[in-house]
Amino acid sequence: MNLDPVIHAPARLQIVSLLAAATEAEFAFVRDSLRISDSVLSKHAAALEKAGYVDIRKGYVGKRPRTWLSLSPQGRQAFTEYVAELQRIVGRPLAENPADGEAP
């Protein structure tokens, strides 16, 4: 089993999964979609940024500061590999177990 430990934390997996479906997402949207606190999102986004998986962009909308998150190319590749490994792990027991449900 070779699951990426950076992505494997549940909150990080949720963040990366959400970002994989978008070009970029505003911090509040990610926070609200995942129902996590600002501090939890900040902590995990920083860890993902440090690993090179997430790009964090800060700017303003009018006079209000905003933060946007996006998957880097490296993050997108890591997520693709993570999902492929999960599929390999999940698919193996299904292929190895008899269809009649008997335990090996």
pLDDT of the residue at 51 = 97
pLDDT digits (tens, 9 = 90+) for 61-90: 999 999 999 999 999 999 999 999 999 988
Regarding beta strands 64-71 and 25-26, do their DSSP bridges make them parallel or antiparallel, or are they unpaired? antiparallel
Residue 91 pLDDT: 84
CA distances from 43 to 15, 48, 87, 95, 97 (A): 12, 9, 28, 39, 41
pLDDT of residue 89: 87
What's this model's pTM, rounded to 2 decimal places? 0.84
pLDDT of residue 35: 97
Q: What is the 3-state secondary structure (H, E, C) of 27-82?
A: HHHHHHHHCCCHHHHHHHHHHHHHCCCEEEEEEEECCEEEEEEEECHHHHHHHHHH
Mean pLDDT value across the chain: 91
Which regions of the chain are under pLDDT 70? 1, 92-104
